[in-house]
Chain A
Amino acid sequence: MTEATFPQCRIVTERLLSPETTEHLLNQICSVAGVRRMVLNGPRLPAIVDYGPAKGLANPHTMRKKIHVGDEEFELQVHVGTILLELENREVIPALQAACTPVFTDYSFYIQEGRFMKTEPSLVDYCKYGPDADKMIIGLADPKSKSKPVILQGTI
C-alpha cells in the first residue's frame, strides 16, 4: 500500500436497514467501480445472548440473516445503520449517490465525505497483527474479533 490517502465517505440512512435492503444496497455499491473498502456499522446482533438473565440462550433475530452480495454470501452481524466506504478517488461519490438513490424510496439518506476509518494501526492492532500488518485490514474489524473481512472479487 502506498502512502496515498484515499478519500472516505459514509452512507447514513434515516432508518436502520433490513437485511433485504442491505443486500440491495450493497449490490448497488458493488456495481460502482472504485470502492476499495467497506465497513457495515450498526448495533450488534449476537447469535447467543451474552449477558443478563437469558445469558447462553439462542438469540433468533429477523435482522441477522445471510445476504448475498456479488459472488459472496455472508451473515450480517449488525443491524446496519451506516456504511463506511474508502474510495479510489472523489469522482466515485456521484456514482455512489446515483447507485443508492433507487434503494431508498421510502425514506432519506445522505452521503458524507470525511475520515471515518482507522488509518494507522493502534496498540490493539499491533498486538493482534504485529508490526507488519496489512493496512488493508486495519480499521475493517475489531482486532479482538475472530471474524475476517469478506473479499468481494472485482471491486477492490
Chain B
Amino acid sequence: MAYKPQYGPGQTQIAENRRKQMDPNHKLEKLRDISDKDVVLVMGHRAPGSAYPSAHPPLAEQQEPACPIRKLVTPTDGAKAGDRIRYIQFTDSMYNAPCQPYQRSWLESYRFRGIDPGTLSGRQIVECRERDLEKYAKELISTELFDAALTGIRGCTVHGHSLRLDENGMMFDMLQRFVIDKKTGIIKYIKDQVGVPLDTEVKVGKAQDAKWLKAHTTMYHSMVGTGFRDDPEYVEYITRIHELRVKYGFMPKEA
C-alpha cells in the first residue's frame, strides 16, 4: 500500500486546517490579488523591474564538480540563475491568525523547494533564492495563509504576535507598516517589511471577519477559539514527543 502522509494529529477544526495547509495536493484558497510589483515593493530587496543581482554566475556558465547529488536534484530557477538569497518574514497574531510560525515552516517544507525556514516564537522567516522567493511570497500573501489585519510582513521590529489587538482589530506594529482605511476597511502597506516608507502604497484587501478566522485558523487559543486541551489526540501526540525527548538521554526503548 502506498504511503499516505498524515501531516499531523488532532480531531479539531484547527488540526484539520493544519493538515490542509500542509498537504501540497490541497489547493490553497485565493483571497486577494497582489501583483508581482507589490510583492517586490513590500519585501524591499530590489527596485521593481530591476535585474536580479547575482551571487554567482548562472549554473550553465560555470564548471560544476562531478557530484551525484547535483545530478539528482534539479536546481530551482533562482539557483540556476545564481540569484542572491533573500527573505520574507511574517508575524502572526495569536488571535486566530490563519497561520502561525511552526505551521508556516511545516507547510513551506511540503510545498516549496530550495528554502531555509527559520521558526521563532512569534515570527517566521523563510530564505531562498530571490526569484523563487518572490514566487513563494506571492502565494503566501495572496492565499488563505494571510489575513490583512492579523498577519504582518515584518523583517524587523516584529513585536505583535502575543499582544492584544488594537481597537480596530489590527495587530500591534511599532512601525505601523500597514494601516486601515477607516472608510473602505481596506488595509494597505505604507512601509516595506523593514519599515522604510514606500513611494506607492500596497493594498492587501480587507481583514477577514471573525467567523472566517475562527473557521480557518491554525492556532489553538482557549479564549478566542479552540483550546489546545480540547484536542486530546494532539495533547497525546505532544506528550509523547515530549516524553521521548526527555528520555532520549536514557536511550528509551518503546515496548
Contacts and interface: CB of A to CB of B under 8 A. Distances in A.
A107 B224 CA distance: 13
A53 interface: yes
A15 B157 CA distance: 20
A17 interface: yes
A60 interface: yes
A53 B194 contact: yes
B87 interface: no
A43 B174 CA distance: 8
A14 B165 CA distance: 8
Interface in B179-207: 179, 191, 194-197
A49 B192 CA distance: 14
Contacts, number: 66
Interface string B143-156: 00000000000011
B55 to A, nearest CB: 20
Contact of A49 (B163, B168, B175): B175
Contacts of B163: 16, 43, 81
Given A54-B175, A62-B179, A16 B166 contact: yes
Interface residues on A, range: 20 to 34
B152 to A, nearest CB: 14
B197 to A, nearest CB: 7
Interface in A86-113: 106-107
A51 interface: yes
B138 interface: no
Contacts of B155: 52-53
Interface string B210-253: 00000000000000000000000000000000000000000000
A16 B165 contact: yes
Contact of A57 (B168, B174, B195): B195
Contacts of A79: 166, 172
A46 B176 CA distance: 11
Given A46-B174, A52-B156, A57 B196 contact: yes
A17 B155 CA distance: 25
B172 A43 contact: yes
Contacts of A45: 174
Interface in B42-59: none
A138 B156 CA distance: 33
B164 interface: yes
A108 to B, nearest CB: 11
B61 interface: no
Q: Which 9 A-B pairs have the closest CB atoms?
A: A54-B195, A52-B156, A53-B194, A61-B176, A15-B167, A18-B167, A54-B196, A16-B166, A16-B164
